Structure 1
């Protein structure tokens, strides 16, 4: 019985360790480096949203308030990550999206990605 209890405790601690790793990754998923890493291998569902005027957040026609505006260097890095993923680039192209018009990307908790285009 003691041996079974030790194995059960070890399994519980092991599960907690893996849960901590996945949570840490989720905190990083929408940083510049995290989204670039994800886009290079992304094969899931995505959505396209237009971004209007990032600078005037009081206007009703603005981009989402929850999505940060990325610096131009980060926008180029996102576009390069999409270019590196030929399957994703092809899917976006089939949906009529020019990769050069993608100005941001955000991953949801379910793993899907929203691309923001101008």
Structure 2
């Protein structure tokens, strides 16, 4: 029984450790300089999330808690500039009906794909 408890303990600690490192990586890769660098040469699949009311989107009505803080106006300008510098990405977004001036955020997922938030 002691071995089973010890094994379960180490399995739980390993799982928690791995989950924490993946989350930390995703936080770092979504900081302003990192996401801008990624967008400037990004050529992979992406998703588009349409925001109904961007000004009030910082509050998530489904859970009643504040969602992740929105990017500053300056941060949004830098994201848009990085996308415009990447002509291939700008064209792909345009072909999906997304105008770069309507993008208000970009987040990189753990799998490397990007989610663009559009107002």
Q: TM-score, normalised by structure 1?
A: 0.69
Distance of 1:58 and 1:84 partners within structure 2: 32
Per-residue CA shift, 1:43-97, capped at 9, x if unaligned? Answer: 011000012244361535xxx92x4300000000000000000000000000000
The 3-state SS of whatever aligns with 1:33 is helix
Report the equivalent of 1:101: 102
Q: TM-score, normalised by structure 2?
A: 0.69
Report the equivalent of 1:13: none
Aligned residues: 92
Contact 1:54 1:69 in 2 (8 A): no
Structure 1's 28 and 59: CA in aligned 2 closer, same or farther, altered over 3 A? closer
Give the alignment's Cα RMSD to 1 decimal.
2.3
Structure 1's 55 and 41: CA in aligned 2 closer, same or farther, altered over 3 A? same
**Which consecutive unaligned segments of at least 5 residues does structure 1 have?**
1-22
Structure 1's 44 and 54: CA in aligned 2 closer, same or farther, altered over 3 A? same
Asked whether 1:39 is paired with 2:39, we answer yes
The 3-state SS of whatever aligns with 1:89 is helix
Distance of 1:76 and 1:83 partners within structure 2: 10
Report the equivalent of 2:14: none
